[in-house]
Amino acid sequence: MSAIREPLPSLHRVPRASPAWIWVLLAAHLAVLLAWWWLGWRAGLPLLVAVHLAFLWGALRPRSAMYGPVLSHLPVTDRRVWLTIDDGPSDDTPALLDLLDAHRAKATFFLVGERAAARPDLVREIATRGHGIGNHSHAHPQAWFWALGPARMRREITQCQEVLRAITGRAPRWFRAVVGHANPFVSAPLRDCGLARVAWDARAFDAVRGDPVAVVARLERELAPGAIVLLHEGARHGRNVEMIGLLLERMQALGYATVLPEDL
């Protein structure tokens, strides 16, 4: 059996013990307080709103590193991309695995803990076929993940980690935030679990758009060496398998291959 190669240290960046956002937040509020004191509420209130909007933008923007490091692109110069598939396992998983095999492609499946616990055989099949497995929260609280408090955020991350470790015998090393959002409480559980956060730089909203041709056309425009491609499975429109199959065909025609960060 060949030795398992670890991801490049520069790619797998676990949050530090003391996130810089704390000091930025304190400094920003001190500046607002001084402005309010010296210039009055007409200056202080707009500054306070601006500070809070800036920190909200850091939470809602998937590639923002305000609350810890995030990987959104691979340092690759040839035509290789990282395919990432969120929200499984699902009824789509077996067909997706067959598609990937047919195209000699590899992907990382960012799995939801509750869904993995319900379908452990699919999780093991993903690992057996040589694909990566990442943590995508335990219950996938899509509407409120960005606003979770420290206790719920920790449960979402650690419970999923425990489920995936129990099924595969190996803890994931990559985390994909729900809808790509983060907040000040995401860093501590990621650090404790040894997880690095992953965003993307190629997406086409395939979880909500049901037109495979339009989805793949947009993804094709965003393909580039080292791109991290965001894909989904199990969407309500039922066409994710068709979309990914068409994408793999277009990638092959354009000379693109897949790569996992562990293989760099």
What does R_g of the chain's alpha carbons equal in angstroms? Answer: 20
- Candidates 244, 263, 261; CA nearest to 103 is 244
Q: Is 91 a catalytic residue?
A: no
Cα→Cα distances 185→67, 189, 190, 240, Å: 8, 8, 9, 32
Q: What 3 state SS string does 137-193 have?
A: CCCCCCCCHHHCCHHHHHHHHHHHHHHHHHHHCCCCCEECCHHHCCCCCCHHHHHHH
How remote is the C-alpha of 59 from its chain's centroid? 13
The DSSP 8-state label assigned to residue 108 in this structure reads E
The DSSP 8-state label assigned to residue 185 in this structure reads T
Q: Is 232 a catalytic residue?
A: yes
Among 12, 73, 86, 140, the one annotated catalytic:
86
The DSSP 8-state label assigned to residue 27 in this structure reads H
CB atoms within 10 A of CB 82: 26
CB atoms within 10 A of CB 52: 14
What the block records as the tokens of 72 is: 């959104």
The set of catalytic residues is: 86, 232
